[in-house]
Each structure stands twice: as C-alpha cells, then as structure tokens.
Structure 1
Amino acid sequence: MKLQNVFGNTYFVKGGTNTGVYLFENNEALLIDPGLNGLRPKNMIKMFENEKIIPKYIINTHEHEDHVAACGQIKHSYPKVEIIASENAKIFIERPELFSDFILGGKHNKFLTAKLFHRNVEKIYVDTIVDEGTLNKNNTNFEIINLKGHTLASIGILTKDGVLFAGDLLVGEEVLNKYDFLFLQDVEEYLKSLDKIQSLDFNYLVLAHGRKVLDKDSTMLLINKHRQAIYKYLNQIKENLKVPMNIDTLLKKIIKENELTYNYKEYYFFRTSLVTCISYLADLDEIDYTLEDSDLLYYTKIK
C-alpha cells in the first residue's frame, strides 16, 4: 500500500473506496473517506507509521458504511483525530441502523443487516459539522461543496491543488457500465449537483469508486454519461407506466429489462432509486396514481 500523488500535496490511497489524503507541511494529514473497517485501514495505519504521517482530520463525503466504517479504527490509533461530516451525515454515521430503516421503509431486519453492515465496526462520533463554504484546517483552505442527490447529506471536498473528491456523485465508467441504475435519494438534487460540478473550477477528480484519476475533460464526459443513465431509467419508467402498475411489478420489469443482478440489499437499493424516480416524475406532474382492488397503481399521465 502506498500514497498515489495527484498533484501538489493531494494524494489518495487505492481501494474499494479510494481514500483521499492531503499532506500538510508538518506531515500531519487530512483524510477523505477512509472506507470500510478491517485489513485495509490496518495497512493504511502501518503506512502512516512508516511514513511518519499523523492523521489529524477525517472528512466523510457521506454516511454510507463503505466510506465511513474505518473512522473508528483510525480514531482508535489516533485518538486526537477530528472526524468531520455534514449535519445530515452525522445523524446516520452515529446511528447507522437508521439507514437500514430508511431503505426498508420500516424497522430493519436481519436479512438487510447481514448484507449492509460489517461486523466489529467501532462506534463512530462526528466531532465537527460542516456545510458548503471554506473549511480552514492547519492554516489551509478546503472548499466544501454540497453535492446532494446520492444522499441528502453528500458533500464534495476541493483541495487548494485543484483536486476534487466528490464521494459517490460519480462512479468510474467501468462501474457505471455494470451498475447504471444508480442509488439516489433525490433525482432533482442529483441533477443539480451534476450541473454544479460542471461549473466548478477544478483540475482533477478522484473517484471514490474508480481505477483512475480524471482530468476535467474526462470528468465532463463522465458527467454526461451519468445524466444519460438517469434519463434512461426515467424514460423507461414512463414507458412502462403507460399501463398502470404497482411499485414491485414495475421494479421487476426494470430489473428484467436491464438484466440487473441483485441480492437482498441491492433489491432494496434498486427499489429506493425507483421510488425516488417516481417522486421526481410526480413532482413534474408526469405521473399519477390510482387505488384499485386493494392495490396502489402508478401511471403515466397523457398530455
């Protein structure tokens, strides 16, 4: 395991979730999304010890376990590290069972817990809440950008080296080609966040889930592919709902039409994204619902 330099003092550590590292002049560090707990953070801590790097801050782009679970492990080794997140992310980071409740739409169960949570995750507490604007740490400015959509708590971090960490707003093209039905909590906010990134002044993007660092031109192309994926599913939903149907029947058709693979967790992730898309189309007054024979059916409005 080693630090990969992006530009200037901005680095990252490769992994299932790439971890951002900004090195200050005194060899203290700000980490972005430390990832899952277990062997990887253990090896990352060894690397820090070998390089005489002291993690001083951790910023979480959002609350999902594959981004935040290692916070407790790093905090155990570096008790003075300051854990930072948005206000909404703090709620879910400190009470992860709420995410399971949200996904199911009620009390979480053992089936989802087995898929969603890894064992031996230390309790995590967020020390500092941030919102959009300038964050100064160690006399260095970082820009915090609200990037809602994937979750309502999502933020991005832009270093003074012009390197952007955008959490799960974007995934690598190889991931997108495989899983283009993106997990979203708010389609409208997600599309706004894509627009925001396009107008942002940055030079490089480090994907949380991707194999390479992107320059700005490559990022613009990837943004367009994400936008196309969103509209692909919105159009499919409207087409399918020319015949009224309930959520689970519609989800079955979406899964079959796109040959999506899934387990228990991913089924509910897809269902959440589908409900989110339906809410977006309802807000646009493009679909409506009816109650028939003890069922709730959605349908596309004829204009």
Structure 2
Amino acid sequence: MKLINIKGDTYYIKGGTNTGVVKLDEDNVLIIDPGLGGLRPKKIMGLLKENNMKISHIINTHEHEDHYEGCNQIKINDETIQILSSKEAKIYIDFPHKFADSILGGKSNILLNPKVSDKKENLIKIDNVVSEGNIVLNNKKVEIIKLKGHSEGSIGVLTEDKVLFVGDLFVGEDIFRKFELLLMYDVKSYLSSIDKIKNLEFEYMVLGHSKKIYSKEESKLLIKSHSDAINKYINQVRELLKSPITIDNILKNIINNNNLYCNYTQYYFFRSTIISIISYLCYLNQVDYSIKLGEMLYYSKKA
C-alpha cells in the first residue's frame, strides 16, 4: 500500500476502492472513501501515521458500503474524527439495510447480503451532512459537487489542486468492459451529472474503482463511453417496449442480448437499473402500462 501524490496536497491510496487523501494543514488530513472494513482501514491508518498524517475528517462520496464501511474502524481509533456525507447518503449509511431493501424491493435476505443477519446495529453514524458548494475543513477549502444518478446521495469532491474525486459516477475502463450496464438510481440525474462534469474545471479525475488516474483530456473519452453505454441501453429498452412486456422479460432480453455476467446480486442491480430506465422514459412521457392476467406490462406510447 502506497500514498501516491497526484498534485500539491492531494494524494490517493489504490485499492478495490480508491481512497483520496487531502492535506488540510501540517498535521491533519481529509480522507475520501475509506473503503470496506477489515485490513484496509488499519493499513490506511498505519500508512498515514508513517507519513505524519492524522485523519480529522472523512467524506463518503455515496452510500454504498464498499466506499464507507471502513469509517467505523477509523473512528474507533479517534472519536474526534468527523464523518461527512450528503443528507441523502446519510439515511442509508446510518441505516445500511435500507440500500439492500431498496434493491430487492422488500425485506433483504442473505442471498443478496450474506452479512445481513450479522448487522444488529450499524456503528457508523454520519456526524455532519455537506451540501453542494465550498466547505472549509481546518482552513482548507474543498468543493462539494452533486453528482446524483449512480445513487441518490452521490457527490463529488474537488480539491484546491483541481483534483476531482467522483466516486462511482464512472468506473475504470477494465471494469467498464465487464459491467457496461451500470447501476443507476436515477437516469435523468445521471445524464445531468455527466453534463455537469464536462463543464467543471479540473486537471485530474479519481474514480472509486480504477487502476489509473485520468487527466482532464483522458476523461473525455471515458465520459463519452459511459454516456454512449447509457443511451445504448435506453434505446434497447425502447425497442423492447414496442410490444407489451414485463420488467423481468426486458431484463432477460438485455442480459442475453448483451452476454452480461450475472449472479444473484448483479441480477438485482441490473433489474434496478432497468426500472430506472423505465422511470426515465415515463418522465419523457413515452411509456404506458396495462395489467393482464396478473402481469404488469409496459409498452411505448404511440406518437
């Protein structure tokens, strides 16, 4: 594990989830997305201690546990650390079963979340929520940017060094090739967030899951590939809606036609995204429904 300098006072630590590190003053640092619990938080704390850095703040870019779960182990080490997120993400981080329940569409189970029966009480609590705009931590300014779409509470963090941490708005090219159908909570907001990124002034982009850092120029191709993929699946759903069809039959066609890898969890992630696409098309007033023989059928409205 290494502390890698990106520019100025902005660093990151590679991992299954990349963790941002921003020096706030001579002693204290902000970390962004500590990742899962277990060995990683301990290693992060050890690495920062070796570099004479003390964690004073943690910002979670969104409410998925592979980004925030390590917060508890870090806070146990120092209760003065402030854990921050958006107000929407706070709901899910404070009550983690809500995310699994929302994906499944009812009470979650051990097939979706093997650890669900062990979580008697969540020990991670968000201390303060952050809103879009500039915030000051230990006299260092960082900008919070709403990047809703992947999740309800997704945010980005832009440092004074013009390094932008985007969480899971985008994924690295190696992951993208395997999981082109992205998990999306809100397609309309996702597309808006992509447009927002295009107009931001940054020099480097750090993704939650990627083996590399992207320059502003390199990010253009990444942004385009994500935008193209979203529109590809929107158009595939539109095509399937030419005849009345159920959500699960839309999903079956999408999985089979695109040779998508699928396990229990991924199936429900894909299904959630398909529902989000249907909701987006409803927003555009392009979809209607009927119920026949107990089946909910969706279809395109006639022009």
TM-score bracket for the superposition, by shorter chain length: over 0.9
Distance change >3 Å, CA 117–CA 39, structure 1 → 2: farther
Q: Distance in 1 between matches of 2:154 and 2:73?
A: 22
Q: Which runs of 5+ in 2 are unaligned?
A: none
| Alignment check: 8 A CA contact 2:289 2:297 kept | yes
Deviation (angstroms), 1:27:
2.5
Match of 1:14 in 2: 14
Deviation (angstroms), 1:42:
1.4
Aligned residues: 303
Q: Provide, for residues 45-95 of structure 1, a one-character-per-residue CA deviation record: whole Å limited to 9, x for no partner.
A: 111222221000000000100000000011111221100001011110010
Q: Provide, for residues 94-134 of structure 1, a one-character-per-residue CA deviation record: whole Å limited to 9, x for no partner.
A: 10001111111111122212178997996101111101011
| Alignment check: 8 A CA contact 2:13 2:21 kept | yes
**Equivalences for residues 244-255 of structure 1 within 5 A:** 244-255=244-255
Q: Structure 1 segments of 4 or more deviating over 4 A?
A: 115-122
| Alignment check: 8 A CA contact 1:73 1:122 kept | no
Secondary structure at the counterpart of residue 58 of structure 1: strand
Q: Distance in 2 between matches of 1:228 and 1:302?
A: 26
Q: Distance in 2 between matches of 1:127 and 1:280?
A: 33
Match of 2:88 in 1: 88
Deviation (angstroms), 1:301:
2.5
| Alignment check: 8 A CA contact 1:149 1:188 kept | yes
Q: Distance in 1 between matches of 2:117 and 2:223?
A: 30
User: Which amino acid in the other structure matches residue 141 of structure 1?
Assistant: K
User: Which amino acid in the other structure matches residue 232 of structure 2?
Assistant: K
User: Which amino acid in the other structure matches residue 113 of structure 1?
Assistant: N
Task: Provide the TM-score with structure 2 as the length reference.
Answer: 0.96
| Alignment check: 8 A CA contact 2:187 2:280 kept | yes
1:60 aligns with 2:60: yes
| Alignment check: 8 A CA contact 1:29 1:53 kept | yes
**Equivalences for residues 114-263 of structure 1 within 5 A:** 114=114, 123-263=123-263
Bigger Cα displacement from structure 2, 285-294 vs 68-77: 285-294
| Alignment check: 8 A CA contact 2:94 2:122 kept | no
Deviation (angstroms), 1:25:
3.1
Across the aligned residues of Structure 1 and Structure 2, the Cα RMSD in angstroms comes to 1.6
User: Which amino acid in the other structure matches residue 254 of structure 2?
Assistant: I
| Alignment check: 8 A CA contact 1:65 1:117 kept | no
1:75 aligns with 2:70: no
User: Which amino acid in the other structure matches residue 22 of structure 2?
Assistant: Y
| Alignment check: 8 A CA contact 1:116 1:265 kept | no
Bigger Cα displacement from structure 2, 184-193 vs 75-84: 75-84
Task: Provide the TM-score with structure 1 as the length reference.
Answer: 0.96
User: Which amino acid in the other structure matches residue 93 of structure 1?
Assistant: I
Q: Provide, for residues 205-252 of structure 1, a one-character-per-residue CA deviation record: whole Å limited to 9, x for no partner.
A: 011100111111111211111110100000101111222111111111
| Alignment check: 8 A CA contact 1:288 1:301 kept | yes
